[in-house]
Each structure stands twice: as C-alpha cells, then as structure tokens.
Structure 1
Amino acid sequence: MNRNAAGGARAKIAWIILAAAAIVPIAAAAWSPLIAWRGSAYITACFAGIAALSLLLFQPLLAAGMLPGLSQRHSRAIHQWIGGALAAFVVAHVAGLWITSPPDVVDALLFRSPTPFSVWGVTAMWALFISAILAVLRMRMRIRPRLWQQIHKTLAVIVVAGTVVHALLIDGLMETVSKAGLCLLVLIATFKVLMRLSGSRAK
C-alpha cells in the first residue's frame, strides 16, 4: 500500500469513528424507554441537546483544520455554520424545557436551581451565546485577531467543559456508554487542538 492509499484509509477510518461517535448516541436515545413517558416538547428539547453535544465533537477539529479531506478555508466556513447551528439547537433545547416546565427553566437561568447540572449547562449556554455574538460583531468592534483567538478559545473551553459535565450529570434519554464515549472524544478533540495551537504559537 502506497503512502496516498494509506492516508486515504486513515481518513476514512477517522470519518467513520467521528460519524459513529456523533450518530450512535442519537440513535441510542431514540430507543430509550423514557420516550414513552415524555411529551413532544421535552423529547424535542432532549434531542436538540444531544445534537448540540454531537456537533461539539467537530468544532475544534474544524477550527484547527484537522478534519481529513477539508481545506482550511472550507473547515473555517463549516466551523462558522456549525457555530450557528449550535446556538439554534441550544435555543430549541431551552425552549422545549421551558414549555415542559417554565419554573425549572427560570430557576436554572437565574442560577438558583438545586440541580448541579443546570449550573453547568447554563454557564455553557451563555459562553456559547457570547462567542456567537462576538463572532458576528468582531469586525465592527475591531477586535484584533490575536485577542479574538484568546477570547474565542477561552469561551470554547467553557462551552465544552460545561456541556460535558452537564450531559454526564443528567440521567435522561441518552444511553450511558455512548454518552460517556462521545463526551470523552469531545474532550480529547478539544485538548488536542488546544495543545496544537499552543505548540504552533510557541514556535
């Protein structure tokens, strides 16, 4: 096997692993017995949250141009589109929970909920919204590229850490093993990209 063929095989394997990590938790949640006892708003909210968690796996890899078969330009463009999708999924997640139980959502948003997972989820949500707003307005605000990278990286770490802890603490529709695997891959991808960016900056 020549070098190009070996590289192509590795790229296919990488995409298969990423796709499986993102799709399997969604499919497993679709078979959850808890669905039979939940309303449509709650189910929609849950799957919006699961989809957002799945997309988080791709965001750092896209930001660093590490997904095989994609140019740096295409990676950044897709990164921006997924950022918008993440914000939309989070809005759908919160809206569905609001319809299900408004008092619980109000308590969570005001950081007075007795459930620890709410604090992590809301913190991640606000970090995501701030990042999305700054991404849209950074040219008008004339934020320097290096400063923007630092801000965006910091907010991304908060989003990832908050989302992962939020997901792991919830006993909901997601199947335990696939959820843990997806969360682990999200953390590994984020850490790997941060180390790569730090290494390139040191050079």
Structure 2
Amino acid sequence: MSSAGEKQSPRRTFLAVPIWAVLAAVVAVPIVLAALSPLLAYRSVPYTVGGFAGILCLAVLFIQPVLAAGYLPGLRLAEARKWHRRAGWAIVTLVALHIGGLYLTSPPDTLDALMLVAPTPFSVYGVIALWGIVLTVLLVSLRRRMGMRSSIWRIVHNGLALIVVVATVVHALQIEGTMEPISKWALCLAVLLVTSLTLLDLRIVKPLLRWRSGEPGESED
C-alpha cells in the first residue's frame, strides 16, 4: 500500500481526467436542465431557491461517499475527508434553504409536511431524510463528549447516511417539478450506486483485506 506522501501512479493520473469529467457531468447536467425548465417562469423566488437547494443537496449526496472513501484522484485521503465533512455542513445549509424557501412560499403546506399530515407521500420521505440529517449533526457534535468508540461511530454514522440517501432519493423521484426526469433518475441511481459501493468497500472489502494481510485497522477522526 502506498503512503500518503507518494506520487500518484501513471495509471491513476491517466484516469484522473475522465473520473473528474464523469463526476462533473453527473452533478452538472441535472442542475443545468432544471435551470432551463419552463416551469421556473411560474415559480416565486423563495420557491425557486428552495427547489434548487434540494437539487444541489442531492448532488452533494453523490459526492459525499466518494470523498469519504478517497476515490477522487488528486486528493489525499485526509484531504478528501476534510472535504467530506465540509460537504456534510453544506448539506445541512442546503436543507435549511430548501425548507425555508418552501415555508416562505406556503407556510401551511410546509408545516403539514413537517408534522407528517400532508396528503403528499413524498413529504414523508423528506421528513425522514431531515431527521436523519438532524441526528447526524447531533452525533457529530456530541461524539467526543459521549466518548463513542470508532467502531460504533462508523456503524451509526453509516446507518444514518444510508437512511438519508434512500429517503432523499425516494423523495426526489416522487416529485414532479423542474428537474428533467431522465437526468433526475440518472442522478438518483448514481447516488444510490456510489453510496452502496462505498459502504460495501469501506465496511466489508477493505477491513477483510486488512485482516488477511495482518494490517492494523484504519482510524477515523
């Protein structure tokens, strides 16, 4: 296994451009197509801001697991995980903008959704994702004070992340709004795919390889 200070291999350097290009395309195309939607002409500014905050949040959820696993070429693992934490706070901010924009547009509908009495099924999954994020923030903020072991932390954190991702994807797919359907499905499937593969890799594959090679476990901040 190469050390963090070593240079990237030629093969990894060669793959850097297409990897970053695919990442940019998966994130940018749904956002651009949503920005070109004719439905925006009939939306208020708060509703538009709230809607695009939700779209950006979905895009960040695609990037989050890639950063956590250090898959992006050009970023060392420690640096990637710093960006993973920053992306987490970006998600919190975007969710706040999403809810705030919808509340300014229609306070009664937003409150009904938060209280799980709205007639729209997608609102239930949105609230599930919201509470998953709230619990994650509390977990991150109180982890050291609670003295939580790294193994328990990883299980709880990853479990909450999976709940947030699945609930957010279902929430997004059930909404018929400014997002173009094909690109929305592509982004949602990409979010599910990278999240599943990353959890499988970090929680099963890499620990098994370390165990077989006799290497010590990986510590996390």
Question: What is the TM-score when the length of structure 1 is the normalising length?
Answer: 0.95
- The alignment covers a number of residue pairs equal to 201
- In structure 1, what is the Cα distance between the partners aligned to 2:39 and 2:149? 48
Answer yes or no: is 1:34 the counterpart of 2:36: no
Amino acid at match of 1:100: T
- In structure 2, what is the Cα distance between the partners aligned to 1:151 and 1:6? 35
Secondary structure of the structure 2 residue equivalent to 1:68? coil
1:201 to 207, 213, 219: 207
Answer yes or no: is 1:136 the counterpart of 2:141: yes
Residue 67 of structure 2 is matched in structure 1 by 62
- In structure 2, what is the Cα distance between the partners aligned to 1:25 and 1:46? 13
- Percentage of matched positions with identical amino acids: 45
Structure 1 stretches of 4+ with a deviation exceeding 4 A read none
CA shift digits 1:155-184 (9 cap, x unpaired): 000010011111111001111111111111
5+ residue gaps, structure 2? 1-7, 212-221
- In structure 1, what is the Cα distance between the partners aligned to 2:172 and 2:59? 11
CA shift digits 1:70-128 (9 cap, x unpaired): 11110110011000000000000000000111111111111111111101111011101
Residue 8 of structure 1 is matched in structure 2 by 13
Bigger drift between 52-61 and 193-202 goes to 193-202
Secondary structure of the structure 1 residue equivalent to 2:74? coil
Q: How does 1:34-183 map to 2 (within 5 A)?
A: 34-183=39-188
5+ residue gaps, structure 1? none
Q: Which has the higher contact order (CA 8 A, sep 6+)?
A: 1
1:194 deviates by 1.2
Bigger drift between 149-158 and 61-70 goes to 61-70
8 Å Cα contact 2:129/2:167 also seen in 1: yes
Amino acid at match of 1:98: Y
- In structure 2, what is the Cα distance between the partners aligned to 1:6 and 1:73? 21
- In structure 1, what is the Cα distance between the partners aligned to 2:177 and 2:110? 16
- In structure 1, what is the Cα distance between the partners aligned to 2:144 and 2:24? 34
CA RMSD after TM alignment: 1.3
